[in-house]
Structure 1
């Protein structure tokens, strides 16, 4: 929920609670006033009847005149007010009531129902009539709930309209004030979104409110620390991957310059031996032929290892030709079941040797994953160099239209090959994304700043 609406809603709830409390207080005061009127009436009537009993007991009056209710009728009763005299058994001996004009009372039914449930007969007052400890009856003064509720509603109704206007005005003013006060939060949210998208250079401005300004300071400090850690991590990853490539190159050179040459010498010697002995000892010739064949197979294996450790095409023919040969190799192995294509844009030959090696390895791993898991008809590799904001960028995309198995996405996103690709992209200080495409299949995206080999 929007913070401004949440705060306004709570302010409205507080205002409504205040209104309810004020209405309850007004209702309570009305009941207290009505009860006080009934108490005065009951006390006055009770005193008159007590005096009449004293006169009767003193033989100054006849008992048949008790109660002398004509005296009671001289009191001015309020509209809806009643006074009764009950005997010791609770039977009504005398009763007087003042009528109420129901047509003049505009109390809503819902308010009247609430009044009856909350108040009921709380306004009634009783007074005992006795002489020398002997009860002669009970005076009950009460008020009609309709009249009492009408009196309470007359006091509350003006508050209702005024409160509605005040609450509406309060909502508008509170929303405007809160909107002005929380306006800087838009900048904070925008900054957080930029940080979430990887823009670690984003900084928040200073704010007038101390709480928001403290948030800005903390976020800026965190973004600076995160940018520093990310840069250090990228540099470390670059050094590690570059060291790995240098080690691969060293091993490849050693195999080529030492082991491969020795195997070539062995093969030549075996051929010489075979030529010398084939006329005199057939078995020796067969042994020499087997030795020559084994040496040839070993040389083929070493050449494959050399190609894996460091494809010579990258150094000899360049990145583009190496990728074309790699794509053509996969087309040959697929035998038409899958069609691999390569599309390049921009001048890519001036990439550094390290960046070219990383791009080649990423494409190699992506094509291997597609061949193993994608079950695709088409696999497309797009390598693009373009200018953006004064700098050249490299964008690599590998997409397939395959389905594969349900475990494909999990394996593709968490396997060692994917980890290796992420490390290479991190070494290039680039961005990496991989996952299912919206239209189906699987896609991989890599983007990094181009570094010239010069």
Structure 2
């Protein structure tokens, strides 16, 4: 939930709770006042009746005039109030009540029911009437609950409209006040979102509030530290991976210049021995042929090793012909089960040697994994160099129509050390890597990096 609406809702609930508490206080005060009025009335009537019994006992009054209810009716009863004289057996001897106006200001039924529930029924007070230790009855004064509820409603009803208007104004004012107070949080969220997307140059402006300004200072400090650490990490990754490629290139050259030449000479010498043995030493012809076969096998193995270490055609022919040869090799190995294609746009040959090697290795790893795991009918490689506001960029995408990943399981094609190696090379290229399933099935690996890379130090 939005923080502003959450705070407004809670403030509204507090206002409504205060209004409810005020209403309960009004109910309590009204019921307390009714009880006191009943108690005073019952006490006064009981005293008058006790005095009449005393006059009867002293022959100042006649017993048949008891109770003299005319004296009781002279009391001013409140609307809805009743006073009764009960015999000792609780039967009613005398009773007097007044009505109340429930038409001019009708009370909602729900309020009457709630009021009756809160006060627990009738509000009444009782006082005994006795003479010389003998109880002659009891005076009971009571209020009709509807009368008290009506009186309470007359007090509370005008406040309902005023309270509703007050709560609405309070919500409106609170929303704008909170919106203004929390406006800096929008800047903070924007900065966090930029940071989450990898934009380590994101910075927050200073704020007037001390606490939020402190957040801005800490955010900017952390973003600066992350930017420096990321830059150092990128540079270190570039140096390490470039050094690895240079070392591979050096080893490949050494193997090609030394071992390959000697194996070629060994193969030629074995062929000469075999030819000579055919006429001079028949018994050595088989050994010579075996030696020639071993030399040829070693040459084939060496060529595979050299291709793994550093494809010679990258330097001799260029990146694009090397990739076309890589794709052709996969098509040959697939035997028609999977079709591999490559599309290239822009001048990708202007990239330096280390960058070309990284691109080749990334595509090589992706195609190997697709061949092993994707079970695709078609795997397409697109390599595009384009220009935008940030300069020249290289965009690389490997897309397959294979099994694709499930919603909660990482695609096996890009799991494990293969993806780690790709990420290291992309980091060395100062680029970004995104891998994910396609809506219509399959999977796509997308990489983007700056086209102009500095040559690594030898």
Give the TM-score of the pair, scaled to structure 1: 0.95
Q: Deviations over 1:318-350 (max 9, x none)?
A: 111211211222222233332222211222222
Partner residue, 1:442: 443
Partner residue, 1:430: 431
Partner residue, 1:165: 165
Aligned residues: 454
Alignment of 1:180-329 (within 5 A): 180-329=180-329
Judging changes above 3 Å, is the alpha-carbon distance between structure 1 residues 146 and 408 closer, same or farther for their aligned structure 2 residues? closer
Partner residue, 2:399: 399
Q: Aligned equivalents of 1:89 and 1:49: distance in 2?
A: 18
RMSD over equivalenced CA pairs, Å: 1.9
Once the two structures are TM-superposed, the CA of residue 390 in structure 1 deviates from its matched residue by 4.3
Cα contact 2:404–2:443 (8 A) shared by 1: no
Q: Deviations over 1:70-127 (max 9, x none)?
A: 2111112122111111122212111111122343341111111111111134521111
Cα contact 2:405–2:437 (8 A) shared by 1: no
Q: Deviations over 1:379-424 (max 9, x none)?
A: 2111111122242111111112222686995322322222111111
Cα contact 2:383–2:394 (8 A) shared by 1: yes
Once the two structures are TM-superposed, the CA of residue 10 in structure 1 deviates from its matched residue by 0.9
Greater Cα offset, 260-269 or 11-20: 260-269
Once the two structures are TM-superposed, the CA of residue 377 in structure 1 deviates from its matched residue by 2.4
SS at match of 1:78: coil
Cα contact 1:409–1:436 (8 A) shared by 2: no
Q: Aligned equivalents of 2:365 and 2:355: distance in 1?
A: 15
Once the two structures are TM-superposed, the CA of residue 253 in structure 1 deviates from its matched residue by 2.2
Partner residue, 2:330: 330
Judging changes above 3 Å, is the alpha-carbon distance between structure 1 residues 421 and 185 closer, same or farther for their aligned structure 2 residues? same
Partner residue, 1:64: 64
SS at match of 1:141: strand
Partner residue, 2:20: 20
Residue 347 of structure 1 pairs with residue 347 of structure 2: yes
Once the two structures are TM-superposed, the CA of residue 430 in structure 1 deviates from its matched residue by 0.9
SS at match of 2:20: helix
SS at match of 1:278: helix
Dislocated runs of 4+, deviation >4 Å: 404-409
Once the two structures are TM-superposed, the CA of residue 187 in structure 1 deviates from its matched residue by 1.5
Partner residue, 2:41: 41
Cα contact 2:381–2:397 (8 A) shared by 1: yes
Q: Aligned equivalents of 1:197 and 1:165: distance in 2?
A: 45
Q: Deviations over 1:291-314 (max 9, x none)?
A: 111111111111111111110011
Cα contact 1:5–1:175 (8 A) shared by 2: yes
Q: Aligned equivalents of 2:246 and 2:150: distance in 1?
A: 97
Judging changes above 3 Å, is the alpha-carbon distance between structure 1 residues 300 and 209 closer, same or farther for their aligned structure 2 residues? same
Cα contact 2:122–2:145 (8 A) shared by 1: no
Q: Aligned equivalents of 1:412 and 1:233: distance in 2?
A: 26
Cα contact 1:120–1:145 (8 A) shared by 2: no
Cα contact 2:102–2:150 (8 A) shared by 1: no
Greater Cα offset, 149-158 or 57-66: 57-66
Q: Deviations over 1:236-293 (max 9, x none)?
A: 2112212221221232123222222222232233223223322132121111111111
Q: Aligned equivalents of 2:115 and 2:454: distance in 1?
A: 90
Q: Aligned equivalents of 1:127 and 1:73: distance in 2?
A: 17
SS at match of 1:118: helix
Partner residue, 1:410: 411
Once the two structures are TM-superposed, the CA of residue 141 in structure 1 deviates from its matched residue by 0.6
Cα contact 1:413–1:435 (8 A) shared by 2: no
Q: Aligned equivalents of 2:119 and 2:402: distance in 1?
A: 77
Greater Cα offset, 108-117 or 401-410: 401-410
Alignment of 1:88-107 (within 5 A): 88-107=88-107
Cα contact 1:350–1:453 (8 A) shared by 2: no
SS at match of 2:262: helix
Once the two structures are TM-superposed, the CA of residue 210 in structure 1 deviates from its matched residue by 2.0
Q: Deviations over 1:184-233 (max 9, x none)?
A: 22222211111111111011111122222222222222211211221122
Partner residue, 1:154: 154
Partner residue, 1:420: 421
